[in-house]
Structure 1
Amino acid sequence: MVTGDGRSMHLIDGRRVTVPDLLEAGLLKAGAKLEFKRKRIGATFDATVTGTGRIRLEPDGEEFRSPSRAAMVAAGMRAVDGWRAWVVVAEKRLLDSVRQEFLDRAISAADREAGDQRVHERLRQARTRADQGDPERITVRELLKLWGVTDRGDQVGRIEAGLANHGLVTSPGFRAVTLDTVVSLTTPPDEPEGPAIPDVLPATEDDEGGGDLDVRLTVGNLTPLEGVTFVGPNGSLHEAITEMLLNDFSQLAVLSGPRNVRGAVTWRSIAQAMHRKSGAGVADALVRAEVVAYDRDLFDVLPTLQQREFVLVTDESKAVKGIVTTADVARRYGEMATPFFQLGELDQTLRWILRGALDLSTVQPLCGRDVQSFDQLTFGDYQRILENKDVWDRLGWPLDRARFISRLAKIRHIRNSVMHFHPDPLSEDAVEKLRNFNILLHRYRDPT
């Protein structure tokens, strides 16, 4: 299918549908009247669609490209999904319904790929379930697989756009949790209470209809929100000790209910309580437990972790669903640091090898760009240089050049992923490729 200006509808893939898209497709007309009713307070707000696809509020005339921003300003709300708030008066249907028709037409175009059709149908089903109050539950890892990816890297924007176009959000937000955390595909609340939080709006639509930049490492990225083992404040220390030994815990949450934190016990607090009082119970060994939301920036929480060695983590419902310790932080930073060090070693070793075996005048024509020293070489340069048969022969390595270059190309891809600071750790397979490549280079790095 092609829009009125000849633009193929398949270009919608990877970005959010906009009001101008609906105008160009003939599904919405300039001058169309919109209405937003807040049933809770009995107020109605009016707007008009301009010829450029903006939402003009009545009667003050202020214009917005984003339906959500227009609804927020009109009603004085912190957050609202404008697509599900504004009704096209003449047709008596939500602006979201017009968007869904646009998507249906776009996906039926002849040049759509099978994968696009599959994702569209899956999200349509998820939206139907969400509207029926039975949201689909899926791990973040499974969600990413719908788009054929394994980590939250360069395709995050495309995934967010796909969810937003179908009026869906994940609860909790899929950016701020681990890959194996189960999230619900649901619709945002009609009138969210309190301050706006990430993913209250589909993909956090902003003033200009784009998405917020979110590159944080959150507390929830370190622990699955699957629940936390705990004891009650009236329990015995034998009960607490048993749980800690069975699970190899250094601390244990003490709760009266999922949202009622009484504190925690640690090996130190237990020992001190037993020393002070014969027959001491959990209440005698309590220490303060800091509680943080899963989407808190990890860097903000590091001082607390350094002081107390752990924090309890709550989900969007304020229920305690996890615990993060200093050991978790050390492990995660180790996962992030290892590839950097491995890649740094690879970079220096390859440069050292080439500098020892070749002249700069030999290297320069092979790079295809202006290179003034070996220190300017990149992984792409290494690949281009070593693909040259004469260079390879001068190294004198008893290795298959094609297989070596193939692995170097994979290393280059890993390097790009690491240097783009993707939020998910590299797979162990990728880290192992780096280690093995370093081991191989160590064996053949002496040009003599």
Structure 2
Amino acid sequence: MRAWVVRAGENGEREPTALEEGVLLVGWHGLGDLTEVRTREDIKAAVAAAYPDEGPYTVGNWTGQLYRFVHDIQAGDYVVLPLRSGRVAVGRVSGGYEYHADAPDSSRHARRVEWLVKDVDRQSIQPDLQNSMGSLLTVFELSRFASAERVAALAEGKPDPGRPDADEFAAGLTEPTKLYEEVRRRAADEPLTLSVRDFLAIWGIQRRYPAAVEQIKNDLDERGLVTVPPFTEGSIESRIAVVAGGSEPDEAGTSAMTRLTSGGLVDRMFVSHLIVGGTQDGPGEESETETVAYRVSNLESANRMPEFVRVGADLKTAMTLMVLRGYSQLPVLDADGRLRGVVSWESIGRAHMADPRAGLEAATVRGQEADRSDDLLNWIGAVQQSGYVLVRDHDHKVCGMVTASDLTVQFGTRVRPFVLVEEIEQRLRRVVDRCVPLERIRAVVPGRRASRVNSAANLTFGAYGHLLKVPENWAALGWAIDQEHFLTALEECRQFRNGLMHFSPDPVTDDQLLPAQGLLELLRSMDPQN
């Protein structure tokens, strides 16, 4: 079972027919019957022939959407239809692709659907699923965070149950006051634990950038709370405990932090690090442990235990694991989980050259080991040179491994949003310079700065919204799209861009990218030759 979104036109123009007749409808009226078109390449050829003036990107994009509509969507799948009212309809697909030759041009490509509910309030849908529905594509799948099961719940008239990996209890902590009350209610031997993601959500924040971290730290200081380990360390999915670090000692004269340490409920080394090296005399004092930085622990792989072999294992065991998993090396750990070396194909080869009967001990060489709280940038050169570095926790036990591949994925993920926003700005500059006279561009720039504006390149991102609100300027673009929706998307992209400019160790997720991606898709469609 899968879940899809199929829109009813750019401005919902097909919505009445879709709801009244129980059908999913897509446009592309230049295309004929696709019933016998079986492959993606055949659909691509049909799209290219029907729209000869469109570039390769648009043809490929449209091909993907049409292939999903004709072939990927199956009877029994759930489908969501966003409505002009702001609500959504949810149905179950009941038939295959149909071509209605006698229907209006924009309603010939159809699928039968049984509408189960037609007025789902968006307030009953969790933000992550709402964001997933926000793409401007006509046909796309809802594939993340168990979306199909959640849409099925909506179809039964139930509220969205949320991500299955989300902390149900944490979801109820909707503001700092509730967090404080919950920590105060709990006994010292049952600290409140939750993921960094859920912790940030209490403040309505998704990524750890300096201003947000400062706000949270101030709130925690005012309430005498502390997170263990610091919420600025680890990945967004790492778990932390929230404790009353500033509470007075109990009857035995013991602080909450000491009770946590002695009870083994949280990482002992983290607690001692906070007590000895990160004490805070009062609100506003800087704590070294809570500095926003790019730590080794910010990489997911640094928090994921790698495959390993124990000291004394057979070398054949290591070789078998390396072949099965496609690894170049394996850590060798002692009984306590501490690193005793690394075995690699190179070390195995060298050991066998000296002695064909060499075992694991002879093939084990010294391995590189970073602390999870180390600055990641200090280890990039070492990872580049050797291909990996093992990661240890504060008890000096191996807890992860960072490879060159991990760094490539991480920094590729971080660069992608900047490239996306840059293309949006470039396209805005180009179309404004081409269509709007310079004097009207200068009109949106206040004061003396207007005289220094020589083109749209001198405008801030936010200024484009003010410029294109003016009816005369909007009309000059000649775009057959809804102005209000475009300006809303532009404002969402401006806010996304502003957040992007603040450093955060947390990568931008695909869901967070959706609004900007949708705007870029729209700009490419409006100006396909650039």
- Band of TM-score, shorter chain: 0.5 to 0.7
The one of 176, 192, 211 equivalent to 1:136 is: 192
Q: How much does 1:283 deviate?
A: 1.9
Which region of structure 1 is more displaced relative to structure 2, 386-395 or 313-322? 313-322
The one of 473, 476, 481 equivalent to 1:399 is: 481
- Given residue 205 of structure 1, which amino acid in structure 2 is its aligned partner? Q
In structure 2, how many angstroms separate the alpha carbons of the residues matched to 1:317 and 1:171?
Answer: 15
Check the 8 A contact 1:255/1:263 in 2, yes or no.
Answer: yes
Aligned to 2:234: 177
In structure 2, how many angstroms separate the alpha carbons of the residues matched to 1:388 and 1:232?
Answer: 70
CA RMSD of aligned residues (A): 3.3
Q: 1:326 to 1:376 in 2, by over 3 A?
A: same
In structure 1, how many angstroms separate the alpha carbons of the residues matched to 2:275 and 2:218?
Answer: 14
Matches within 5 A, 1:96-115: 115=175
CA deviations 1:169-197 (Å, max 9, x no partner) are 33332212101112233448569999999
Q: How much does 1:123 deviate?
A: 3.0
In structure 1, how many angstroms separate the alpha carbons of the residues matched to 2:357 and 2:517?
Answer: 53
Aligned to 2:70: none
CA deviations 1:277-306 (Å, max 9, x no partner) are 434432232232122211111111222222
The one of 345, 348, 352 equivalent to 2:430 is: 352
Q: How much does 1:211 deviate?
A: 2.9
Residues paired across the two proteins, number: 332
Check the 8 A contact 1:124/1:166 in 2, yes or no.
Answer: no
Q: 1:389 to 1:266 in 2, by over 3 A?
A: farther
In structure 1, how many angstroms separate the alpha carbons of the residues matched to 2:440 and 2:398?
Answer: 62
The one of 296, 307, 324 equivalent to 1:219 is: 296
Which region of structure 1 is more displaced relative to structure 2, 421-430 or 255-264? 255-264
Please say if 1:150 is aligned against 2:225.
no
CA deviations 1:206-265 (Å, max 9, x no partner) are 688433582321111013535343211221233223433554543321111345311112
Please say if 1:229 is aligned against 2:307.
yes
- Given residue 115 of structure 1, which amino acid in structure 2 is its aligned partner? E
In structure 2, how many angstroms separate the alpha carbons of the residues matched to 1:114 and 1:169?
Answer: 18
Check the 8 A contact 2:229/2:240 in 1, yes or no.
Answer: yes
Aligned to 1:159: 216
Please say if 1:379 is aligned against 2:461.
yes
Q: 1:174 to 1:116 in 2, by over 3 A?
A: closer
Which region of structure 1 is more displaced relative to structure 2, 247-256 or 357-366? 247-256
The one of 484, 496, 506 equivalent to 1:424 is: 506
TM-score of the aligned structures, taking structure 2 as reference length: 0.56
Q: For 2:180, what is the secondary structure of its paired residue?
A: helix
> Which stretches in structure 1 are left out of the alignment for 5+ residues?
1-112
> Which stretches in structure 2 are left out of the alignment for 5+ residues?
1-172, 246-255, 262-267
In structure 1, how many angstroms separate the alpha carbons of the residues matched to 2:182 and 2:283?
Answer: 28
Matches within 5 A, 1:266-345: 266-274=344-352, 276-345=354-423
Q: 1:394 to 1:201 in 2, by over 3 A?
A: farther
CA deviations 1:288-337 (Å, max 9, x no partner) are 21222111111112222222221121222322211111211111111111
Which region of structure 1 is more displaced relative to structure 2, 305-314 or 275-284? 275-284
How many percent identity over aligned positions?
Answer: 29
- Given residue 363 of structure 1, which amino acid in structure 2 is its aligned partner? I
Q: 1:162 to 1:198 in 2, by over 3 A?
A: farther
- Given residue 163 of structure 1, which amino acid in structure 2 is its aligned partner? L
Check the 8 A contact 2:218/2:283 in 1, yes or no.
Answer: no
Aligned to 2:341: 263
Check the 8 A contact 1:169/1:201 in 2, yes or no.
Answer: no
Check the 8 A contact 1:294/1:315 in 2, yes or no.
Answer: yes
Please say if 1:238 is aligned against 2:316.
yes
Q: 1:236 to 1:432 in 2, by over 3 A?
A: farther
The one of 328, 339, 357 equivalent to 1:250 is: 328
In structure 1, how many angstroms separate the alpha carbons of the residues matched to 2:217 and 2:276?
Answer: 11
CA deviations 1:54-97 (Å, max 9, x no partner) are xxxxxxxxxxxxxxxxxxxxxxxxxxxxxxxxxxxxxxxxxxxx
Q: 1:265 to 1:444 in 2, by over 3 A?
A: same
TM-score of the aligned structures, taking structure 1 as reference length: 0.65
- Given residue 210 of structure 1, which amino acid in structure 2 is its aligned partner? E
Check the 8 A contact 1:160/1:202 in 2, yes or no.
Answer: no
